[in-house]
Amino acid sequence: MTGQRDRFLTMKQAGKPIVMLTCYDYPTAVLEDEAGIDVVLVGDSVGTNVLGYASETEVTMHDIVHHLKAVRRGIKRAYLLADLPYQSYETPEDALRNADVLLAAGADGVKLEGGRERIEVVRALVERGIDVCGHIGFTPQTLGSKGRVQGKSYDRAWQLVESAEALEAAGVMMLVLELVTEQVSKAITERLRVPTIGIGSGQYCDGQVLVVTDVLGLSPFTMKIAKRYAGWREAAEQAIRQYRDDVTDARFPTTANAFPVEAEALERLEASLAASR
């Protein structure tokens, strides 16, 4: 998707923020596409946000493909990015095989976590003509619950700058910076030609990404890095309880929710029922 890659570069050059949002199902994909989200991400956050897993490391290729196909059906315009899940890109061969599966399932490009240790894998994908989005900083697949904010010390900050530059040289089309300190994100953003997309990394990135369940307010809590734009959890809880009460108290369904049989058929049916008693 060279046209889209160029569009994101142009957006960076023009100082126009790129909007990325995660998505895991068809109806939300339709809403995101219609709302003008630039990049829809089928992230491995599907594991903890939708599938009830304890960690992103439990997400499989099968999980991503299942959700990706649903999201693809709802997208007409946006760029569709999919995560390569944990341990699906340990070698260039693994990465190529699994990226091909994601592209066949409808992805326009793939995202993978890691810095300099992933350069060989990124190069192999880029040489095959596959769009790759990098992801550095807090990388849930490898860091898990270890540490959160990245780039507080000089050594870690410099490591992140070097990783970002190495990933750009290897050909990534864009780079997610997760939980990177604001000044370090700014420095990386200024140094790179390709766009940076931040999550919990401050205001100076070329774009932002959030997890859709946080945006909609489906999570029980709101993290400092996210913003809740709706209260779906409360609305859904109320709707489910009302439905339960309506059925329990015989308020739903009513005749208005049912379908009548034809009058003549009903007459004959009642006669047959009476005769067969």
Q: Catalytic residues, which ones? A: 178
CB of 181 to ligand KIV, least distance (A): 17
Instruction: Name which of 111 and 186 has its Cβ closer to ligand KIV.
Output: 111
**26-45: contacts with ligand KIV (CB under 6 A):** 43-45
When CB distances to ligand KIV are compared, the closest residue is 43
Contacting residue, 40, 99, 194, 199, with ligand KIV by CB under 6 A = 199
Looking at residues 6 to 25 of the shown chain, list those that interact with ligand KIV (rule: CB under 6 A): 22
83 binds ligand KIV (CB under 6 A): yes
Residue 208 beta carbon to ligand KIV: minimum distance, rounded to whole angstroms: 10
DSSP per-residue codes, 69-122: HHHHHH-SSSEEEEEPPTTS-SSHHHHHHHHHHHHHTT-SEEE--BSGGGHHHH
Residue pair 160/180 in contact by the 8 Å Cβ criterion? yes
Which contacts qualify for 193-200: CB closer than 8 Å, 24 or more apart?
193/9, 193/12, 193/168, 194/8, 194/9, 194/12, 194/168, 195/8, 195/9, 195/11, 195/12, 195/18, 196/164, 197/18, 197/20, 197/39, 197/133, 199/225, 200/138, 200/149, 200/224, 200/225
Q: Which is nearer to ligand KIV, 43 or 74 (CB)?
A: 43
- Please identify, using beta-carbon distances, which residue of 32 and 83 lies nearer to ligand KIV: 83
Least separation, in Å, of the C-beta of 241 and ligand KIV? 30
CB of 242 to ligand KIV, least distance (A): 32
Q: How far is CA 195 from CA 18, 52, 110, 150, in A?
A: 8, 32, 15, 19
Mode of pairing for the β-strands spanning 131-137 and 174-178:
parallel
Phi, psi angle pair for 90, to nearest 5°: -70, -30
Count of chain residues binding ligand KIV (CB under 6 A):
11
176 touches ligand KIV (CB under 6 A) = yes
Report if residue 211 touches ligand KIV, rule: CB under 6 A.
yes
User: Closest approach of Cβ 6 to ligand KIV, in Å?
Assistant: 22
Contact residue for ligand KIV among 71, 121, 170, 209 (CB under 6 A): 209
Site residues for ligand KIV, window 44-73 (CB under 6 A)?
A: 44-45
Residues 128-157 that bind ligand KIV (CB under 6 A): 135
Cβ count near 100 (within 10 Å):
14
Judged by beta carbon, residue 63 or residue 254, the one nearer ligand KIV is: 63
Half-sphere exposure of 213 (CA within 13 A, CB side): 17
- Contact positions toward ligand KIV, by CB under 6 A? 22, 43-45, 83, 135, 176, 178, 199, 209, 211
